[in-house]
Amino acid sequence: MSLNLGQIFKFAGGVHPPEHKVESTEQPIRTVPLPKTLVLPLRQHIGHIPKILVKVGDHVLKGQLLAEAHGHVSAAVHASTSGTITAIDEQVIPHPSGLPDLSITLQADGKDEWLKHAPLDYQNMERAELIRRIAESGIVGLGGATFPTHVKLRPDARHPVTTLILNGAECEPYITCDDLLMRERADEIIQGAAIMQRLLGSTECLIGLEDNKPQAVAAMNAAVAKANFNAKVVVVPTLYPSGDSRRLIALLTGKESPAKGRTTEIGVQCFNVATAQTLYRFIAHGETVVSRIVTITGNVARPGNYDALLGTSVRDLLQAAGGIRDNTDDYVMGGPMMGFSLPSVDVPMTKAMNCVIASTPSLFPLAPMEMPCIRCVACADACPVNLQPQELYWYSKSNNLEKADEYQLFDCIECGCCSYVCPSHIPLVQYYRYAKSETIAQDRAKQAADQARIRNEERLERIEREKQERAKKHAERTAKAETAGDDNEKKAAIEAAMARAKAQKETVIPQNTEAVSPTVAAEIASVDAARAKAAEKTE
């Protein structure tokens, strides 16, 4: 088999941890049986939380819009199967915090009945209209970053995209969902790429894969030849983190992406292969995002890749993979380099979930004790972003956040290469994550303080203004009263008012003692007499 290697560039650093990909690539993609209950968190993407359109008790069909994209950067959430909404409340979601977040619970009716859907005639559609429809589809970057795809497909006059890159590198150990997708659904990926190419108006399409996926490379090459689509499959050496979009762009084009800007500034836009395939399913079949492929591996009976509905619990996924084996003590979402431990197996699968590893103490042993930094700078050699991890470590550890920011802490992609090579076993990335979130929290507090200062100043100004206005009004009134005329005029006005009041009093006479029946009149007379008597007595 001859591989079209093309020209490959390089990025700095990188590591090559044990791949562990074979375990989950021996079987084709299998489907997870329809679960009874699905939980759909609203926050499955980067950006604003979508707006809920349904209420508890509603019956919905598969693919029906449950929450629509709200704001500039947001993504929709759809029903993954037909059934009834049983709750809209906070549920634990797959997040390192283990905190609950607003979710929609769907009780499946077992029919899995699709909402009526039709393909989109995208060739004859206005571009803006097509982007709007894609915004309703719920498609987000399925490589793990979950950035809403329609935002990346919007035309930008300032930075035209010339090169479209599909990311099939999948560099993180254990994860094989993109590999299997490319093997089995290469045609759909290429069709999706063609749609993206048309939307972006790019002239070149590169598909980057690591050289540890020969079957996927062959399948993709065959699909490109069959589709007669002007794309080039480029095989890059296996080196973590070549799957990071900016690293892959550097590998394929030799161009460095701006650290504080977007990749479109160098004319490149990058999508995951699964995103392209999902876009194809939406355009060509009208199917919104209701499922994804997830790698279930590690200490399970049948490791492999599973096509599961969004909202399926991790417990059900593990069950579908033959159940966990003895000694499983943890569940890692994502790979061993960038993943995190799930708070529980009763969390739902989201659009970001590409892999779950059932781990054992022997699979991922507890990190050895953190030892002092010996200034070997192995971390700086491994850093793919050309940062100085050892400096960042000192500043993060000592809470010197300003200095850490000066050393470009926020350019760190948290790939974990530095921690991986550190001979002192320092959890470097954890320090950077801590420093990043602390900096963000401080910036937020600063913004809130500035806002409070402005509001306080405006309030004081308003009080002062109102005081002056009142004083002015008062002064005007007294001035008016003084100039109104002499005492006689005033006296006349008072007398006239008194006369008016008197006249009014006279016209108003009690009504209930007149025109009464003789008995009532007698009663009144007797009471009056009694009153007179009482008055005499007291005198």
Shortest gap between Cβ of 464 and other proteins (angstroms)?
14
As measured in angstroms, the least distance from the Cβ of 92 to other proteins is 11
Nearer to other proteins, 447 or 513 (CB): 447
Q: Considering the complex, what minimum distance in angstroms separates the CB of residue 315 from other proteins?
A: 21
The residue among 111 and 465 lying less far from other proteins, judged by its C-beta, is 465
Alpha-carbon distance 292 to 430, whole Å? 29
- Output 97 or 526, the one with its CB closest to other proteins: 97
Q: Residue 233, exposed/middle/buried by CB under 10 A (0-12, 13-18, 19+)?
A: buried
Shortest spacing between CB 493 and other proteins, in angstroms? 33
Identity of the residue, 164 or 379, whose beta carbon is nearer to other proteins in the bound complex = 379
d(CA 427, CA 425): 6
Q: Rounded to an integer, what distance in angstroms lies between the CA atom of residue 353 and that of residue 40?
A: 13
Minimum Å distance from CB 177 to other proteins? 25
Cβ distance to other proteins smaller for residue 43 or 185: 43
Catalog residues that contact other proteins under the rule CB under 8 A: 43, 93, 95-97, 99, 101, 366-367, 369-370, 427, 430-431, 433-434, 436-438, 440-441, 444-445, 448-453, 455-459
Scored b (16 or more CB within 10 A) or e, 470-479 reads eeeeeeeeee
Secondary structure (3-state) at 331: strand
How far apart are CB 101 and other proteins at their closest, in Å?
5
**Least distance to other proteins from the beta carbon of 333, Å?**
15
Rounded CA Rg of the chain: 37
Buried b (16+ CB within 10 A) or exposed e, 353-387: bbbbbbbbeebbeeeeeeeebeeeebbbebbbbeb
Length of the chain equals 539
Give the nearest distance from C-beta 254 to other proteins in angstroms.
34
Could you give the CA distance from residue 215 to residue 465 in angstroms, rounded to a whole number? 76
Q: Cβ closer to other proteins: 453 or 502?
A: 453
**DSSP 8-class letter at 173:** T
Least gap, CB of 449 to other proteins (angstroms): 4
**Residue 168 belongs to what H/E stretch?**
strand 163-168
**Nearest approach, Cβ of residue 432 and other proteins (Å):** 9
Q: Nearest approach, Cβ of 496 to other proteins (angstroms)?
A: 35
Q: What is the largest CA-CA distance in the chain?
A: 133
Residue with tokens 């090559």: 16
CB of 70 closer than 8 Å to CB of 51: yes
Pairing of strands 51-52, 37-41: unpaired
Structure tokens at 306: 């599973």
- Strands 268-272 and 231-236 turn out to be unpaired
Smallest distance, Å, CB 462 to other proteins? Answer: 8
27: nearest Cα among 303, 239, 264: 303
CB closer to other proteins out of 114 and 340: 340
Contacts of 164 (CB under 8 A, 6+ apart): 193, 196, 197, 200, 202, 204, 205, 206, 268, 269, 270, 271
Closest CA to 227 of 250, 249, 195: 195
Q: With beta carbons less than 8 A apart as the criterion, state whether 314 and 342 touch.
A: yes
Helix, strand and coil in the chain, % to nearest 5: 40, 20, 40
Pairing outcome for strands 330-333 and 51-52: unpaired
In the bound complex, what is the minimum distance in angstroms from residue 531's beta carbon to other proteins? 43
Q: Comparing C-alpha atoms, which of 143, 175, 149, 132 is closest to residue 280? A: 149
Of 440 and 516, CB closest to other proteins: 440
| Minimum distance of other proteins from residue 412's CB (angstroms) | 13
Q: Is the peptide bond before 18 cis (omega within 30 degrees of 0)?
A: no
